[in-house]
Structure 1
């Protein structure tokens, strides 16, 4: 944990998730009672300052070639998630992720995967956010000490007694009330005030808010040194970025 934050930001952690308006961030102290603050920003870079540890639900560390089942982290976490494992998508190569056109991305993905595989539209819509983080962290390697990849469903698994949440957050792209209620209960059990969880800010969905909250709790575990990487030990990509999902 970095200790060179004279402004006190080392005592603050942040969970971040992608949302319609860009990024939603929930900020809490690294220990003690949870008094959360929420922010929505169009740029991930705007969320870097003011927190010692940032846990974000977005891939960090991209493969030069994609294998069956995705990167090591995807293959390692799926068995823990039961029916929720479909929420962990396989990442194509870095060169495919950096294509701006869908069909070009599919072409490059086919050329840089074994077995050959195209890109799903759902994954392609995430590429701008993945590129944003990839470019920023390659430009400033010191960010690897502060920014960590997480996955909300693995985070809920960890905080739910290492049991996957039984119901999904969404069904056919619509929020699933019972699934959200289960996740709210887990967050309340870990100290989040219930009223905070009831209304998402403008530009973010109810599920985005809960994901940012659970990511913030994993940021606390990272700060305390109790988070575990999947795989363990972590891998690294061609640029030295850590490749692991933490929980």
Structure 2
């Protein structure tokens, strides 16, 4: 059982949600997989600071190429900009089919834009977190959106990673090793990554959850910045921001 007031970095994976968590910076983190985000929250305990690689906060309308946070971080990422998907309006994300999502997105975006298949595949995960945050002011204050490529950039003295994590859908060992080197420089033990990924996840999920753990700890220490600096809130009072 993870002690109260823990820190966790979370990423989506084939089996559900993968997380690295620990109760204080410098201790050995625990790697786990949960099928539901609600179970992850319950296991972490009260007060846990959770950084997750998933869009949080859904505006009613979109102006430009995605939500404000996506537009704010892309200029920092160079060749890694394509990893930042444009997430549409709440009505589009809540749609029941891809066709309906595209129709709602066209109605609520300026300029009108349909939904990419990659973004659509995230919608059930986005809504899973959204359901937990609605009406829970405590969770809203301690579950934050991070983007791993941006997090690695921030930890790498502002320089984006030079190699992709995947090439044509296959994990790229050189890209993974480049990211592990950054994690090691910031205090994580290289041995954590030597056993590979657990069933239901891949190594890109493992390193993304790990960098989000560091971001959760940095956020609790007041060392992250909100992008954009003055984020909007959606109709449920959820901040629309990426932290890094």
The alignment's TM-score, normalised by the length of structure 2, stands at 0.94
Counterpart contact for 1:156–1:214, Cα < 8 Å: yes
5+ residue gaps, structure 2: none
Structure 1 counterpart of 2:230: 233
Q: Deviations over 1:80-109 (max 9, x none)?
A: 111101111111110110112111111111
1:48 aligns with 2:48: no
1: CA distance, partners of 2:151 / 2:54: 13
1:223 aligns with 2:217: no
Q: Deviations over 1:15-42 (max 9, x none)?
A: 00000111101102332x2401111111
1:174 aligns with 2:170: yes
The correspondence for 1:212, drawn from 189, 209, 212, is: 209
Counterpart contact for 2:20–2:210, Cα < 8 Å: yes
The correspondence for 1:37, drawn from 2, 17, 30, is: 30
1:59 aligns with 2:52: no
2: CA distance, partners of 1:26 / 1:201: 12
Give 1:171 deviation, angstroms.
1.2
Counterpart contact for 1:34–1:191, Cα < 8 Å: no
Instruction: Write out the 4+ residue segments of structure 1 that deviate beyond 3 Å after TM superposition.
Output: none
2: CA distance, partners of 1:64 / 1:242: 13
The alignment's TM-score, normalised by the length of structure 1, stands at 0.93
Counterpart contact for 1:34–1:192, Cα < 8 Å: no
Give 1:138 deviation, angstroms.
0.9
Q: Which moved more, 1:152-161 or 1:189-198?
A: 189-198
Give 1:149 deviation, angstroms.
0.5
Give 1:8 deviation, angstroms.
5.0
1:245 aligns with 2:242: yes
Question: How many matched pairs?
Answer: 239
Counterpart contact for 2:135–2:236, Cα < 8 Å: no
Counterpart contact for 2:22–2:29, Cα < 8 Å: yes
CA RMSD of aligned residues (A): 1.3
Structure 2 counterpart of 1:3: none
